[in-house]
Amino acid sequence: MNKPLTLTVTALSALLLTACGSNSSKSASSSKSDNSSSLASSRKTKSELKKESIAKANSKSLSESKIKASKDAASQSIADAQSANAQSSSTQSDDKSDQSSSGISMDENTLTGFLNKYGETPVAYKVQHGMPLQQALNSTPVEMKTSGEIQDSWLIQQGLMNPDGSDTQKAKDLENQNSTDSDDTSDDDTDDGY
């Protein structure tokens, strides 16, 4: 955004300097011609002098109008650049409307934003408002679930967890089997001191 503004200001400065430079060279050449014309002025008639002064006044007013036009164009270009910069800033602020002033995302379409806005995950929010756990897990996309909720979905699919969140008989049997297996292996292990 600053690059177009800088380029515009540089171009306008160059135009103004060119206009002023050509104006000073005109005045230098006109002063030389004034010196030479002063020698010849004694020979010129009043009508010739009148024509000459009118021509000088016209050229002076023409160069002044060119300078004024350049300045007007420069100020208009700067105003346009500032307007474009302001529009860009408002567009950027619209893009960040889902963030608070501290930069924390409040976008409900991300897990982080949902957590920041509601203080809980989408699954927990649905269960808290009356939806059964299995339905809440099934209706929530994976990218909006925590790792624990993904594990709960897997446990329900494998038949190790009831839809209400309690363990199934299959899960209890596996737990008992694992505990008896660990008791058997602990008897076989010798204590090496490690």
Answer yes or no: are the C-beta atoms of 94 and 118 closer than 8 Å: no
In this prediction, residue 82 has a pLDDT band, given cuts at 50, 70 and 90, of: confident
* Cα within 13 Å of Cα(18), Cβ side: 8
All structural domains of the chain with their residue ranges: 2-94, 111-186
Gap between the Cα atoms of 87 and 169, Å rounded: 64
No. of helices (H) and no. of strands (E), the chain: 7, 0
> Using one digit for the tens of pLDDT, what is the confidence trace for 95-147?
555 555 678 888 888 999 999 999 999 999 999 999 999 999 999 999 999 99
* Cα within 13 Å of Cα(93), Cβ side: 7
> Using one digit for the tens of pLDDT, what is the confidence trace for 4-53?
767 777 776 777 677 666 555 555 555 555 555 555 545 557 777 777 77
Q: Which amino acid is at 23?
A: N
In sequence order, the 6+-apart residues with CB closer than 8 A to the CB of 111 are 121, 122, 143, 144, 145, 146
Instruction: Return the higher-pLDDT residue of 82 and 105.
Output: 105
Give the bridge partners for 161, in sequence order: 167
Phi then psi dihedrals of residue 120, to 5 deg: -155, 165
In this prediction, residue 182 has a pLDDT band, given cuts at 50, 70 and 90, of: confident
